[in-house]
Structure 1
Amino acid sequence: MRRPSPPRRSTAARTLAAATLAVAGLLPLAVAPAQATPPVDTLAKGGDHDYPHHELSPELQAKLDKTVRDVMKKAGIPGVQVGLWMPGKGSYVRAFGVADKHTGAPMTDDLRMRIGSETKTFTATAVLELVDDGLVGLNDPISKYVKGVPNGNHIAVRDLLDMRSGLFSYSADSAFIRAFLKNPKRPFAPKELLGYAFKHRNQFPPGSKFQYSNTNYILLGLVVEKVSGKSLRDFIEHRVLRPSYLDHTLFPQAAEFPRPHAHGYTDQTPTGKVADATHWNPSWGWAAGAMISDLHDLKHWAKDLATGTLLSPATQAKRLKVLPTGIPGAGYGLGIFNVNGWTGHNGSLPGYESLTIYLPEQRATLVALLNTDILYKGEEPSTVLGKAITSVVTPKHVYYLPPQK
């Protein structure tokens, strides 16, 4: 599944079709220097409460250290946080490289990062909680909640959740792309985003095929607000973040970015020149990609998401029923994917990428946070890293999403 982000360079939209679930971020700060400080790795400072405290074997740690450094070097990744928790084998938590290319400040495992399309897992959970409350039906037409949606009488809430609505993704609209690149600090309102999408004809009849579209999740955010009477931000705070004890995760109101955080670097600029996107306004991603979190919160969220801590067993079973995406080894459910056995989501927006996945078979969790979204040979850097790590620790379950044409 691919990311919902603006285009690479100014030539064409980076269409978030179906190969790496993600989104984008926003503000042109200082341009990064030509050479980054050499990677430095640091041991974790945080504790683990639902896994054994012992670390992986020294041999496996050394192999993973080399694997991560090799990926960083070839893909040009400034900094990475990696957390791997494998019951019965131990844990591995490291931070490599730099959090700020200008100052050379090291990456550490306690820095907050923008998580892009992982926001969809929180939005989907909010909707599914309303399903459990009896206030929303998965088969309800979106027209029941939001007026003016093309073919809205035939597009169900379920079609939005599992990316089968046929609605055009606003983030692939040329006018949106121009507006974003002209001023990435500017705010976007949800209905403004829908305006970019609704200018286009629907791509296919609802339910007939998979196509990743940020438009789906903007609509789902509006469903939550209409039914609950609360802002999406407040609903997620009270019904998702607090019950899961995610104290370092938030849905920002605008471009705020609580410290400590890492700087993020992107080449999604009018000229293709690398820029510091740390403070770009993520409102354009809203329910599809605006959230912020950290390594240790995402470790706990991976398990809650995959096991359905906040939902009824029946609703969780519906969430986990993945349908084909057309991508080998990858299926998509209700705001969640399964890639070769790993369940979770990834995220991307200018300057940042993330990957949070859980392997039920081994009760293993992998979280990776990167401070760049610059592609490596057409691949998302989070995919390159995830593939390399899982090839080492779970060779029968390798996480991989091929580049989309």
Structure 2
Amino acid sequence: LGAAVFGVWQGDEEVVLGAVGESPIGVPATPNMQLRVGQPMEPMLSTALLQLDDDGTLSLDEPIARWVPDFPRAEQITPRMLANSTSGISDYVTNPDFLKTFYANPIKEFTAQEIFDLANARPPLFEPGTNFAYAHSDLCLLGVVLEKASGEPLGELLKNRVFTPLGMSESNVMLTPQMADPALHGYTNERGVFEDSTFWNPTAFLNSGNRNSTVTDVGRWVRALGTGELLSDSAFQEMMAPETAGLGPLTDERFFAFGTAHLGSWLFMNPSFGGYNGVALYDTESKTTIVIYATLGPTANANTNNTVPIASAIGALLLPDNPPKLS
């Protein structure tokens, strides 16, 4: 690890909030530093989706052809499938052409259409709704559907429906590499040299991870996610239901739905992008929240999320009778 920021909450009570290490190099890390949030943004899109379904703006199960008529198989794919990664769209992040372009110029801005082209350059993985395969492509497309349905840019939509209601004043959806001060600097050796990757362009993960925040704001969001604070009772029940169980390796006890992995009573998110690794956990039984973000050291394996074993150990220490089983 280069540095880490972390927080633990019991209900809304802060148990610990802290930081260790240096980031940027020579500057002590502090828990109020801005960071790249990554994957915990995904269930925010699902929260907005369920809200829009509740108020009649859209339906979870209507074809996305209403908003993106030219997208392949738009008459068969629904918003629910995008939120659950059951659309069958190929994940553009694993497309060699994306990786080549991104690593050649990691500050490049990616548009939604570029991402769609990369996703559709490879055949669909399966017929829509018949299987599960996690794909960042689904989230990019879902973000566009939400924008067209609501008439708002995604950043404004999430600000109005998530950030402001929860008092998350340090959170923003980003379309540029900008980071406010103080910033936790990311470092990585992904391109064969250890370098500062703080200002890599987050649009490489457009609508699935391009959000800046603090560990406190992430903790606030995770608690709201786990309690359904922003949803009607029926929408929250739908969000937490194991509706993808039976698809691929998913079961009633371990499944992915609406942007979140469910591992028994634990909700689990594990973001990783450009020198930032993280884990966000919420136990629905004890109402325990654990959030950790870390930067990579010179010898770290950029393909391994080094915060997962740390979060697992903290969870086991806090809840020895119900530790999170993250692998």
Same-fold call, TM > 0.5?
Answer: yes
Give the root-mean-square deviation of aligned CA atoms.
2.1
Whether 1:386 and 2:308 are equivalent positions in the alignment is no
Q: Is the 8 A contact 2:312 2:325 kept in 1?
A: yes
Equivalent position SS for 1:119: helix
Alignment equivalent of 1:319, drawn from 239, 248, 267: 239
Unaligned runs of 5+ in 1: 1-76
Q: State the SS of the aligned residue for 1:289.
A: coil
CA distance in 2, matches of 1:303, 1:348: 21
- Match of 1:239, SS state, is helix
Q: 338-347 or 361-370, which moves further after superposition?
A: 338-347
Selected match of 2:201 from 278, 281, 298: 281
- Counterpart of 1:330 in structure 2 is 254
- Is 1:223 the counterpart of 2:148? The answer is no
Identity of aligned residues (%): 27
What CA distance in whole angstroms lies between the structure 1 residues aligned with 2:169 and 2:12?
A: 27
**Equivalent of residue 292 in structure 1, options 212, 227, 245:** 212
**Distance (whole Å) between structure 1 residues aligned to residue 16 and residue 75 of structure 2:** 49
Query: Quick check: 1:141 aligned with 2:63?
Result: yes
Of 104, 117, 128, the match for 1:206: 128
Q: What's the counterpart of residue 9 of structure 1?
A: none
Deviations 1:34-72 (A, max 9, x none): xxxxxxxxxxxxxxxxxxxxxxxxxxxxxxxxxxxxxxx
Q: 2:21 aligns with which of 90, 97, 105?
A: 97
Q: How does 1:352-371 map to 2 (within 5 A)?
A: 352-371=276-295
- TM-score, normalised to structure 2, is 0.92
For the pair 1:253 / 2:253, whether they are aligned, the reply is no
Aligned position for 1:108: 30
| Whole-angstrom distance in 2 between the partners of 1:221 and 1:334 | 13
Provide Cα deviations, 1:211-236, integer angstroms capped at 9, x if missing partner: 11001011111111111111111111
Deviations 1:173-232 (A, max 9, x none): 111111111111111111111110011111012222221100101111111111111111
Alignment-mate amino acid for residue 261 of structure 1: A
Question: Which of the residues 294, 306, 309 maps onto 2:226?
Answer: 306
Matches of 2:67 and 2:316, distance apart in 1: 44
Q: Which residue of 2 aligns with 1:30?
A: none
2:271 to 318, 323, 347: 347
The residue type equivalent to 2:260 in the other structure is I
- The CA distance in 2 between the partners of 1:378 and 1:352, in whole Å, is 11
Answer yes or no: is the 8 Å Cα contact 2:92–2:115 preserved in 1. Answer: yes
Aligned residue type for 2:142: L
Kindly indicate whether the alpha-carbon contact (under 8 Å) linking 1:342 and 1:397 is maintained by their aligned counterparts in 2: no
For structure 2, the residue ranges without an aligned partner over 5 or more in a row are: none
The AA in structure 1 aligned to 2:321 is K
Asked whether the equivalents of residues 386 and 400 of structure 1 are also in contact (C-alpha less than 8 Å), the reply is no
Give the match's secondary structure for 2:272: strand
**Shift, 1:355, TM fit:** 1.9
Matching residue's letter, 1:386: A
1:327: Cα distance to partner?
6.5
